[in-house]
């Protein structure tokens, strides 16, 4: 069942990706450009955005920091009402309770969640006024349940998923699409920090293809690779005692 208008033909459509300098964001921007979209890329690292624009004719760079609300508002005014806006800004450092760092935990929350709230403040008025467009938030399977070394990363991603669900209920009746992305392990500069085996790891290009397929199918939740994410979704159904025992043994 399609929960959103299907985004299949990208020709003549505008896609704005926030957090597109590397990883999933950059790969998805490239895939959308190849599909015919007019792509606008935003992130803090202007040189990387300019490099993207040089390789993708017709694309446009809008450097910004998601914690800079005036910059986001100015960018939203320049973009107008995009057919698709993807919030893929992200920050990750492994953290456990024995190495708790308050400043770093707050940085996770700021970039992974508060930045999305800043985007809503800048973009929602335009979406509501036009009664069209699609907002997609890139969360993570780390937001499904608590995981080792995800003390700082997981909570913000869980909040982002909850935000997407609430937004869907409010915006779908108004003709505005909302989706949430739950990647498993994807080869990016962020996951390169992990010192453990990452099951079913895929490339950023594969992740981008899965996202475009999900938007084309009108899905609300887009998760991949399914051989891994279906297992992670099943863990949410386990009783706490079973779940904690299983994850603790796997982490030894």
State pTM to two decimals.
0.94
- 153 among known catalytic residues: yes
Specify the residue for token string 């051989």: 227
- Give yes or no for a contact between 22 and 92, defined as CB atoms under 8 angstroms apart: no
Q: Is the pLDDT of residue 188 over 90?
A: no
CA–CA separation, 19 and 29 (whole Å):
10
Tell me the per-residue pLDDT of 31-60, one tens digit each, with 9 for 90 and over.
Answer: 999 999 999 999 999 999 999 999 999 999
* Predicted local distance difference test score (pLDDT) of residue 198: 66
Percent of residues, the chain, with pLDDT higher than 90: 91
Q: Which of 87, 92, 113, 153 is catalytic?
A: 153
The stretch 152-169 carries a mean pLDDT of 97
DSSP secondary structure of 180-242: EEEE--EESTTGGG--S--TT-EEHHHHHHHHHHHHHHT-SEEEE-HHHHHHHHHHTTS-HHH
Average pLDDT score over residue span 102-108: 98
Q: Residue 181 class from Cβ within 10 Å (0-12 exposed, 13-18 middle, 19+ buried)?
A: buried
What pLDDT sits at residue 7? 97
Please give the domain boundaries of the chain with CATH numbers for all domains. Answer: 14-250 (3.40.50.720)
Q: Is the per-residue pLDDT at 79 higher than 80?
A: yes
Average pLDDT of the chain, as a whole number: 94
What does the alpha-carbon distance between residue 139 and residue 183 come to, in Å, rounded to a whole number?
Answer: 7
Burial class of residue 120, CB neighbours in 10 A (0-12, 13-18, 19+) = middle
Largest CA distance in the chain: 54
Specify whether the CB–CB gap between 6 and 217 falls below 8 A. yes
104-119 mean pLDDT: 98
Name the helix (H) or strand (E) containing 134.
strand 134-138
Mean pLDDT of 205-222: 97
Q: How confident is the model at residue 252 (pLDDT cuts 50, 70, 90)?
A: confident
């Amino acid at each position: 069942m399609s929960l959103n208008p299907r985004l299949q033909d990208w020709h003549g459509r505008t896609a704005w990706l926030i957090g597109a300098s590397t990883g999933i964001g950059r790969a998805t921007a490239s895939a959308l450009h190849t599909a015919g979209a007019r792509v606008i890329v935003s992130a803090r690292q202007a040189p990387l955005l300019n490099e993207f624009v040089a390789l993708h004719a017709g694309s446009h760079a809008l450097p910004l920091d998601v914690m800079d609300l005036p910059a986001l508002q100015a960018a939203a005014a320049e973009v107008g009402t995009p057919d698709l806006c993807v919030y893929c800004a992200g920050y990750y450092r492994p953290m456990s309770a024995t190495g708790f760092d308050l400043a770093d935990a707050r940085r996770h929350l700021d970039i992974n969640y508060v930045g999305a709230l800043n985007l809503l403040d800048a973009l929602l008025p335009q979406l509501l006024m036009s009664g069209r467009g699609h907002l997609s938030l890139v969360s993570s399977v780390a937001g499904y349940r608590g995981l080792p070394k995800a003390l700082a990363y997981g909570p913000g991603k869980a909040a982002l998923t909850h935000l997407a669900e609430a937004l869907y209920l409010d915006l779908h009746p108004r003709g505005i699409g909302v989706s949430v992305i739950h990647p498993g392990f994807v080869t990016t500069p962020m996951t390169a920090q992990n010192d453990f085996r990452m099951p079913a790891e895929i490339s950023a290009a594969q992740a981008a293809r899965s996202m475009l397929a999900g938007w084309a199918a009108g899905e609300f939740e887009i998760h991949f690779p399914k051989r891994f994410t279906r297992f992670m979704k099943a863990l949410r159904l386990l009783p706490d005692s079973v779940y904690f025992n299983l994850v603790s043994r796997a982490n030894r």
